[in-house]
Structure 1
Amino acid sequence: MESKITYYKTPIGTAKIIGDENGIQSVSVLDDDAISNESLNLKTPECLEDCVLQLEEYFTGERTNFDLKLNPKGTTFQKKVWTALLNIPFNKTKTYLEQSKALDNVKAIRAVAAANGKNPIWIIIPCHRVIGSDGSLTGYAGGIWRKKWLLEHESPVKQQSLF
């Protein structure tokens, strides 16, 4: 079965979505100048329409949970780590250490962090919700500024600008 591709413009870059009838394989973020307008204007394949709709609802604040068939490509260990990420609720964070403990392998903290970094399904598998033990926003393939934006987007307390 041939994978389909579509693009969706988000407030923090263009999402590139890849998948087929077996599920979403990848959602990555591109800088807006990395994609042509022609690609943005292509019709979304039917098998990816629900993913685009749910991402749109997430960004407008109408969705806190995704209900999509996922089919990420990775090792058995990576898939186990990514499945655990799905258990981190909207507007909550976990540390890499807490994530390792949840997988019953506290010594695997570096491997868990590496698997998080290879997460192919941006936002939907919420690796942005994993932070350093000191509360720092460590490592994020989409860029720390995007991780910060996503965590603030999910926060029930919206910071008001003083200026």
Structure 2
Amino acid sequence: MEDTAYISTPLGIAKIIGDVEGISSIVILNSEEPLTDIIPETLEDAVYQLNEYFEGTRTEFSLKLNPQGTEFQRKVWSALEKIPYGRTVSYLQLSKLLGDTKAIRAVGSANGRNPLWIVVPCHRVIGSDGALTGYAGGLHRKKWLLEHESPHKQQSLF
């Protein structure tokens, strides 16, 4: 049986699902849920690492992952994990990495079905023209994540 935890993040409430086989889902909700008081042991590391990410002290995740998807989707998600923190790639570049530039739509579709937001960084994939295209969590969250990871932080004038 899978465990579930709800935690607060700067982007909203995150719902984390997993078991001894690994984390199967991390999504940011568009609704309010009661926060989890006692985090299940199987999810403790995920909660800890996500908190570090949002605090700006973690740039890579080391979690046991268990996303459910087709072989092609898992191949795309695996490629997403190789995009370095603070960097972006286009859907076309991602398709080339996977060996088939004609698969750009399928790659985009698999990217959009990524069940492990943030940890499998689908937010780092942008349009070929640099545009922030599609993000299941909303473009405002994608923009926030990319700015959070940017090595060039905006400085306040005041």
TM-score tier, shorter chain, comes to over 0.9
1:44-63 aligned within 5 A: 44-63=39-58
Q: What's the secondary structure of 2:47's corresponding residue?
A: helix
Q: Which runs of 5+ in 2 are unaligned?
A: none
**TM-score, scaled to structure 1:** 0.94
Letter in 2 for 1:155: S
Instruction: Look up the match of 1:17.
Output: 16
Letter in 2 for 1:35: E
How far apart, in 2, do the equivalents of 1:161 and 1:148 lie? 18
Cα distance per residue 1:91-122 (max 9 Å; x no partner): 00000000000000110000000000000000
C-alpha RMSD over aligned residues: 1.1
1:142-153 aligned within 5 A: 142-153=137-148
- Per-residue deviation, 1:162: 5.1
Q: Which runs of 5+ in 1 are unaligned?
A: none
| 1:98 paired to 2:98 | no
How far apart, in 2, do the equivalents of 1:156 and 1:99 lie? 22
Cα distance per residue 1:64-106 (max 9 Å; x no partner): 0000000000000000000000000000000000000000011
Instruction: Look up the match of 1:7.
Output: 6
Letter in 2 for 1:75: T
Cα distance per residue 1:5-41 (max 9 Å; x no partner): 001100011110000000000000013xx233xx304
Q: Which residue, out of 32, 35, 50, partners 2:32?
A: 35
Identity %: 63
Letter in 1 for 2:6: Y
Q: Size of the alignment, in residue pairs?
A: 158
Alpha-carbon contact 2:7-2:36 (below 8 Å) kept: no
Cα distance per residue 1:25-67 (max 9 Å; x no partner): 0000013xx233xx30431100000000000000001000000
